[in-house]
Amino acid sequence: GAGVSQSPSNKVTEKGKDVELRCDPISGHTALYWYRQRLGQGLEFLIYFQGNSAPDKSGLPSDRFSAERTGESVSTLTIQRTQQEDSAVYLCASSLYAPYYEQYFGPGTRLTVT
């Protein structure tokens, strides 16, 4: 079946611009996570959605970052007024239900801020 998909696969933007990254989770998965992976580093947790519960935003690095999810479907991560330090691969994962179920990762969106 279809896995987690993310778009765009690559995004180059100028410093100060806003960007939107999209994640389509596996159908039926109630939990959705966003992580950031800087070059040569491990993944950092950003935000977690579980069904209709309030999201866990504790990993968002600043108020320039926000994310939305409509029900149990698509999620959008928005970065406002991008900075060069925002350059990274942004990965989305979904799981059937959190906790206790495996997280399946998408291929990521590579964001480059020039």
- Give me the residues that bind other proteins (CB under 8 A), please: 4, 31, 33, 35, 40-45, 48, 50, 56, 59, 91, 93, 95, 98-100, 102-108
Task: Kindly state the smallest distance separating residue 13's Cβ from other proteins, in Å.
Answer: 20
Of 19 and 98, the one with the shorter C-beta distance to other proteins is 98
Of 14 and 58, the one with the shorter C-beta distance to other proteins is 58
Q: Are 21 and 12 in contact (CB under 8 A)?
A: no
Q: Are 34 and 44 in contact (CB under 8 A)?
A: no
Task: Kindly state the smallest distance separating residue 44's Cβ from other proteins, in Å.
Answer: 8
Of 17 and 57, the one with the shorter C-beta distance to other proteins is 57
97: helix, coil or strand?
Answer: coil
Joined together, the tokens standing for residue 81 give: 């007024």
Give the DSSP per-residue string, 4-22: -EEE-SEEEE-TT--EEEE
Task: Kindly state the smallest distance separating residue 28's Cβ from other proteins, in Å.
Answer: 17
Joined together, the tokens standing for residue 62 give: 């600043």
